[in-house]
Amino acid sequence: MANRRLTQRLIDTLKPGRSVREIRDTELRGFGVRILSSGRKSYFVHAQSNGRRVWTKVGDAGAMPLVDARKLARSHLAARREGDPSPSVEASAETPFEDVAEAAFRRHARLWKPGTLAVNRNYLKNQILPRFGGQRIGAITCADVQQWFASLRSTPAAADRAAPVLSVIMREAETLGHRPEDSNPCVNIRRYRRRGRERFLSREETRRLGEALARHDGHVLAAAVRLLLLTGCRKSEIMTLQWRDFRDGHLFLRDGKTGPRTVWLSTAARSILESLPRTGAWVFPGRDGKASVQGLKHFWVKLRDEAGLQDVRLHDLRHTYASLALQAGETVLVIGRLLGHSDPDTTLKYIHLADRTVRDAVDAVAPVLGGEGRR
């Protein structure tokens, strides 16, 4: 947002950009002009009212001379200072949805990782803009959002992931003053209940996977798969490892999905790393040594076919690590730390494993408590 003394010549020559532009007047504090990506220009005033930021449209800059807009702005600002809510003034809520979406993505480009940013842009393009593109941001209601969400019932996974992106955009609209505070129409969305995709290897399946891996001893990708199973790390965290990340018997991930974290290694995991040759910066180097090795997905498909585990994904090794830790007596809180979860709720999907462990324990002691053990 720029600060300049507004003149009629400046107003007439302002050009639209790819997103909303705003210029505040240095002569009259709180007064400015907004240029939409469509080229439309409007005057606005920005003031505090009852502890809240209020943006108010003064008039269309294409039809109202600047001198008249500045006079009207002065009266609006004076009314605000005197506590008059000025209900006759049209709220500045006409900004197109896509302009606010771009502003939200620019702000979150610093917060989201590149991969997350790319995925969220896909949801914006494919699920959100076809419904809300071109609409006025202030006119979108809870009913509109509920109808949109219901229209995506045939793709529940996409709906569940697109809804938080829409919510971020709506929160940005409040921050920019295009919507009243606490007016997010996404707050009451209830996500679809989907059948969990978690797959946990049994001890027998883990043994078969181990036998298949043994047939590929010496292959760099076999070592990567072993490390995935022994650490519970995400694929990206293992495949981007550099030797500087491995020291003092730990992995120090500089840029994990949830930020930097330390991975505690078992003796077996350390042995795998210590057996690998250090030929460059990468733990699992590609042929030229300038990047990490590629082809893990193809190798995994071949490996799981050999082990008779055709329905198992690489990510299921992470779930298996968690299930084995739970069976060994670790708490859900500890497992969350082992997996690098930033949100405890993420770890709660493993709670059904704890329930199963308790149920098995009850079944084991029931005969004794019922007197069957004295027969």
Residue 40 has pLDDT above 90, yes or no: no
**Residue 149 in contact with residue 167, Cβ under 8 Å?**
no
Most confident listed range (39-43, 116-120, 301-305) = 301-305
Summarize the confidence of residues 226-252 as an average pLDDT: 90
Instruction: Copy the structure tokens of residue 29.
Output: 């504090």
Element holding 132 (H helix, E strand): helix 129-132
Residue 221 has pLDDT above 80, yes or no: yes
Residue 323 has pLDDT above 90, yes or no: no
pLDDT at 256: 65
Instruction: Copy the structure tokens of residue 1.
Output: 């947002």
Residue 150 has pLDDT above 90, yes or no: yes
pLDDT band, residue 138 (cuts 50/70/90): confident
CA 102/CA 273 separation, integer angstroms: 44
CA 26/CA 5 separation, integer angstroms: 5
**Residue 86 in contact with residue 80, Cβ under 8 Å?**
yes
Beta-carbon contacts of 189 under 8 Å, excluding residues fewer than 6 positions away, are 145, 146, 149, 163, 167
Percent of the chain with pLDDT over 90: 31
pLDDT at 283: 94
Instruction: Copy the structure tokens of residue 159.
Output: 């709906």
**Backbone φ, ψ for residue 284 (5° rounding):** -120, 80
pLDDT band, residue 358 (cuts 50/70/90): very low
Element holding 52 (H helix, E strand): strand 52-60
Instruction: Copy the structure tokens of residue 195.
Output: 């059948």
Summarize the confidence of residues 6-17 as an average pLDDT: 90
- Determine how β-strand 31-35 pairs with β-strand 41-49: antiparallel
Instruction: Copy the structure tokens of residue 8.
Output: 């009629």
Of 149 and 287, more confident: 149
Summarize the confidence of residues 265-278 as an average pLDDT: 90
Question: Chain-centre distance of CA 284, in angstroms?
Answer: 28
Instruction: Copy the structure tokens of residue 367.
Output: 């005969």
Q: What average pLDDT does the chain have?
A: 80
pLDDT at 368: 40
Summarize the confidence of residues 79-93 as an average pLDDT: 52
pLDDT at 166: 96
**Residue 324 in contact with residue 229, Cβ under 8 Å?**
no
pLDDT band, residue 339 (cuts 50/70/90): low
